[in-house]
Homo-oligomer: A and B are copies of this chain.
Amino acid sequence: MTRKPKNNAAKAKAQAADPELDRRKTSILGTVVYEYIATGEPVGSATLTQKYNLGISPATVRAELASLDEEGYLEQPHTSAGRVPSDRGYRYYVDRLMLPETLTPEERDRIRAEVRRATHQLDSVVDHASHVLSTLTRSIAFAIAPRLSSQVYRHIELIRIGDHAVHVVLVTDLGLAAQCTLETTTPVNADALLRASNNFNEHLQGSRLADISIEALERLADAAPLPGDLLRGISTIVAEHADADVERRLFAGGAHNLLDQQEFRDLRKLRAILDLLEEQQTLYQLLHTSLQSAGARVSIGRELPSIDMSECSVVTIPYRVGDRNAGAVGILGPRRMQYARLIALINCMADSLNELFHGEASAANG
């Protein structure tokens, strides 16, 4: 009947994948999850037999439900309520039962168009992407900007803003501009800035950013001495040295969407999630681990690193710049989320970003 996708994901949590259930159980579990995701109400045997043509009686369904409950795939909110999927139930559904969803051409185009609308600034691309994703999914979306390190130096501009401030704009081969204003303790000399940047642009052309050492910069700026902290700052931007990595900014949006979800009617839960957003560390970590994997990754309930997220699920996906994973986006919503749809959306988003970071390169090189 239904073709079962191979299960090679979900290894992450060190748990062996669940054994395969027999056909009837499979079908019932799938239907319960589907129905619960659709309605948000605990699913009972009557609902199942009435709304879905299972070919068996409520009594039989009840027996199977009890069994699935015992095995940990389903849970009962209280004795006389229907069943609700447990983490394990969702996991089985996501790994084996869910039918992949395809987006309409309109949706694909919308995402692609929105991503393309973003300017060439590094940060705003990602900011925009997370914003689009959050409105489209009516969930929280979050993202980190691509690492620069695998991109290639094209141009740098050092603009004197004041005696002690320099605005740095770095342009990479992919047509992305990263920028930042640096303050210096000693005054900067406009002439020195110009000579240094000319030197940089002449000699660093084509280098991978990760390979540009601070010593190289120092050497190139030798003729035109620059304040040490300025050089260190530039080096940090260029090669993303050390601390730049932890400070990498997280873009998140769509928190207000949680208000619509019935599972967040409890203000304390809402608050816990908002605090998590504020703190950023946990979400950042999720995206970071996502960089290792290849495609979309789903984390359900307790699988997530924070106890406050035990009623949430997260879908993350990395995107590439060039041929390496350079950044990632994620969606955070209630466990009762439309997994298939969100995965389709986030896949599309990743594709669009990959394309953008690739397409720009060729366009810019032309």
**Which chain A residues have a beta carbon within 8 Å of chain B's beta carbons?**
119-121, 124, 155, 157, 159-165, 167, 169, 171, 175-177, 179-183, 255-256, 259, 265, 267, 270-271, 274-275, 277-278, 360, 363-364, 366
Contacts and interface: CB of A to CB of B under 8 A. Distances in A.
Contacts of A183: 119-120
A123 to B, nearest CB: 11
Contacts of A159: 155, 157, 169, 171, 177
A180 B124 CA distance: 10
A272 to B, nearest CB: 10
B120 A360 contact: no
Nearest to A124: B181
A271 B257 CA distance: 9
A319 to B, nearest CB: 19
Contacts of A175: 161-162, 165
- Counted per complex, copies of this chain come to 2
In the complex, the 5 A-B pairs of residues with the closest C-beta atoms, listed nearest first: A162-B364, A119-B181, A162-B175, A256-B274, A120-B181
Contacts of A256: 255, 271, 274-275, 277-278
Nearest to A164: B363
Contacts of A119: 165, 180-183
Given A119-B181, A163-B363, 13 more contacts: A119-B182, A121-B181, A159-B169, A161-B171, A162-B364, A163-B366, A167-B171, A167-B179, A177-B181, A256-B274, A256-B275, A256-B277, A259-B271
A176 B181 CA distance: 10
A165 B270 contact: no
Nearest to A157: B159
Nearest to A174: B162
Contacts of A265: 267
A167 B123 CA distance: 14
Nearest to A257: B274
Contacts of A163: 363-364, 366
18 contacts: A119-B165, A119-B181, A120-B161, A120-B162, A120-B183, A155-B159, A159-B171, A161-B176, A161-B364, A162-B364, A167-B169, A167-B171, A177-B181, A255-B256, A256-B274, A259-B270, A259-B271, A265-B267
